[in-house]
């Protein structure tokens, strides 16, 4: 039997987000696994934060489905990390792919679409496939942190995701970069070796570059363009029914 979130339950998500604001990432993950069961999934991009969550899920044997968006443009090091994590924790990380291959996209829209219309490329290779995949779940786990971008500064541990229409669980929302790396090194968690070569934020090969000392961690993503997000994480807004509701008594 499947379960779909109702409008009153979206209000409960906000309440849970506030209640869990001081909880540990493991406590938040356990809460989500208990609350959503098989209707919970984790979409990982294999960043440092994602590796922390895979470590917690794997070491504590939490019943959480995991997948990644395989755009066909990932670094070889990312594909290698994918397999190393599966082997280390004896789990499966599913691949979700765009409707078209990179070559098929080029045949329709021209070669290297990302150099001309990066948002359109991200929409086809990441956002649309994610939306289709999440339609079968009631909540998804992300690895975002509040201090990563201005758009993530108000994120809660648990919240309603207006972009994809389901619950959103952010176990690392309060963590800092230092805490992330402390966990990785302390627990010998596999991570992308590109992080040691000047790539603090890693996405697709053509849209990721190294970052110089003093630059923001995401400065190497879509360098030279006024773009800091691929579109997966919309700023938090109230659930539809909450936006139209009057003040409560």
Give catalytic residue positions.
Answer: 230
| Of the candidates 156, 158, 157, the residue with the CA atom closest to the CA atom of residue 138 | 158
For residue 96, what is the DSSP state?
E
| Of the candidates 45, 89, 44, the residue with the CA atom closest to the CA atom of residue 203 | 45
Whether 71 and 130 have beta carbons less than 8 Å apart is answered as: no
Whether 72 and 165 have beta carbons less than 8 Å apart is answered as: no
What is the separation, in whole angstroms, between the first and last Cα of the chain? Answer: 36
Phi/psi for 134 (5° steps) reads -70, -15
């Amino acid at each position: 039997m499947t379960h779909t979130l109702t409008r009153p339950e979206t209000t409960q998500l906000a309440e849970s987000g506030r209640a869990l604001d001081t909880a540990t990432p493991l406590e938040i993950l356990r809460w989500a696994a208990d609350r959503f069961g098989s209707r919970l999934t984790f979409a990982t991009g294999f960043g440092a934060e994602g590796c922390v969550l895979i470590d917690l899920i794997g070491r504590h044997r939490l019943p959480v489905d995991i997948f990644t968006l395989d755009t066909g443009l990932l670094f070889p090091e990312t594909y290698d990390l994918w397999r190393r994590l599966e082997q280390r924790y004896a789990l499966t990380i599913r691949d979700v792919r765009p409707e078209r291959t990179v070559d098929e996209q080029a045949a329709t829209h021209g070669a290297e679409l990302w150099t001309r219309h990066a948002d359109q490329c991200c929409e086809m290779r990441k956002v649309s496939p994610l939306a289709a995949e999440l339609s079968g779940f009631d909540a998804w786990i992300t690895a975002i942190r509040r201090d990563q971008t201005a758009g993530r500064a108000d994120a809660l541990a648990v919240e309603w995701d207006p972009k994809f229409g389901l619950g959103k669980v952010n176990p690392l929302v309060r963590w800092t970069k230092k805490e992330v790396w402390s966990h990785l090194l302390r627990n010998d968690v596999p991570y992308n070796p590109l992080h040691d070569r000047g790539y603090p934020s890693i996405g697709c090969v053509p849209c990721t570059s190294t970052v110089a000392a003093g630059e923001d961690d995401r400065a190497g993503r879509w360098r030279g363009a006024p773009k800091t997000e691929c579109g997966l994480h919309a700023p938090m807004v109230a659930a539809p029914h909450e936006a139209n509701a009057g003040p409560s008594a």
